[in-house]
Homo-oligomer: A and B are copies of this chain.
């Protein structure tokens, strides 16, 4: 099964386009858990237990685990083991390096840790992306137009008559012979998201930036979905995992995830 088919299958089964971002910050954990690396793992496990039937994917932001030092790797590994097999796991590290190094990253993320997909930065070109594409069942979300203010600095510069991020999208479409490439487009750019969906009609699009970053959910869903209402992967992190900082945090995360899934489904 290609990565594209896997995404569609899990979205259909879970009736959900929601991706829950496990950007777990030890400093923001409910007080009673403490602030250790083990506390991060316990927190993640309880969030996963409470939400796994509501999400098509979990995205782990690698920076949050690396900043835990040497224990971070183990926390990530144990967190991944806890996520049911059918749900897609995304290693959000935005890696990108020359061929022999990209191979290492692919090995670390896909083989050692076992992620189903990763985010990759396109700046270094084909040989930096190709090592992540060898297994058709494993996915690459290539950064196109990111949700942050700095996306204007280079991504929106015109290359010929079109912005650079469109060139990235068109190039990704060419590279997508195994149907395992997706794109990252921030919800903070609704018109551009619509344009990207036109250029890449059947690619999964990972859409961060709703909630705290100010992206509009309705347009993220309407413009991000491929035909029949699939292949948009709507990420929410802080609004779900920190819905409550009391002892009811897991239950509160479930409520929030349920609400968001329903709201997404209303717009599909």
Please give the residue numbers on chain A whose beta carbons come within 8 Å of chain B beta carbons, in ascending order: 23, 61, 63-64, 66-67, 69-70, 72-74, 77, 94-99, 101-102, 104-105, 107-108, 112, 121-129, 143, 146-155, 157-160, 164, 167-168, 171
User: Of the candidates B63, B73, B122, B128, which one forms a contact with A73 in the assembled complex, judged by CB atoms under 8 Å apart?
Assistant: B73
A101 to chain B: which residues have CB within 8 Å?
Answer: 23, 61, 63-64
What residues on B are CB-neighbors of A72 within 8 Å?
73
Q: Are A107 and B67 in contact (CB under 8 A)?
A: yes
Nearest-neighbor residue (CB-CB) of A66 within chain B: B108
Is the CB–CB distance between A157 and B155 below 8 Å? no
Instruction: Please name all residues of chain B whose beta carbon is closer than 8 Å to the beta carbon of A149 when the two chains form the complex.
Output: 125-127
Identical copies in the complex:
2
Which chain B residues border A126 with CB–CB below 8 Å?
149-150, 153
Contact partners of A99 in chain B: CB under 8 A? 148
A108 to B72, CA, bound (A): 10
